[in-house]
Structure 1
C-alpha cells in the first residue's frame, strides 16, 4: 500500500521514537537500518526527508544521531510521515490514479474506495509515533521480520 521508502520511514521513525523515549539516546544510521531491515544508503535518504519535514531531529558529530524530542513523540502522526515521504496522492486521490475521478465522474472503484481511504486517513491522523513506539516497547508490536 505504501512505497518501500514510506514503510522504512515509518519503521525508522517508530524505532527512533522507541529509543528516544526509553533512554533518551540518539540512534545512529547503521543501527536504524539494521533494526528496520533497510539498506543503509536508502535509510539515509528516507531519514533526510523526515528531518527536512521536521518530524525527526538529527544531530551531527561524534555523539550525534537521530532522535525525537518529547514534543515530536507526542505530536508527529503517521499521516505526517506518509505525506513527507509519499505525498498525498494515496490519501486524497483516485484508487486507479485517474486525475478526473470525482463524484460526478467516478472511476469503477470510486464508491468502494472512498470509505477505505477515509478510514486510512483517520488511522494515520490519530496515531502518533510515540504511541506506536510505546507499543513496541511494551511488546505489543514489532518492527522487524525475522526469517
Structure 2
C-alpha cells in the first residue's frame, strides 16, 4: 500500500510541465518556424516543456515582408512547478532527485510579438532593347 501511495504522489508531483507561448505578428498571417520546424501561421501557439533555460530559434516570414530571425530563451521561473518538485522532494523518501528537478523549471514568456517590415526588394526586367521597367 505504501508503494502505491508513493507512486501516486510521485506521479502527481512530476506530472508533465507543458506550456504554451503565443506567437503574434504585425501583420498577422506570417509563417512561424521554431528550430527549423513549422509551428503555424500567426497568431499561433508554441507548445513546449519547462527546461533549465533552453533557447529556441524563431523565424517569422510573410510574402512581401522581410524575414525576422530571433532567439527566445526560457528564462522565467515556473514557480508552481518548482514548488511542487521541492515539496515532493521533502515528502517522498529519497526525493532529492526531485528537488534537483526544481532547477529545470524555466519557461518562456506568455507571448511574443514580431513586427515585420515591408520588403524593399526591387525587381527589374527588360521590356525591350534599351527600355527597363522598375
TM-score (structure 1 length as normaliser): 0.28
More strand by share: 2
Q: Which one scores higher on RCO, CA 8 angstroms, separation ≥ 6?
A: 1
More helix by share: 1
Answer with 1 or 2: which has the greater Rg: 2
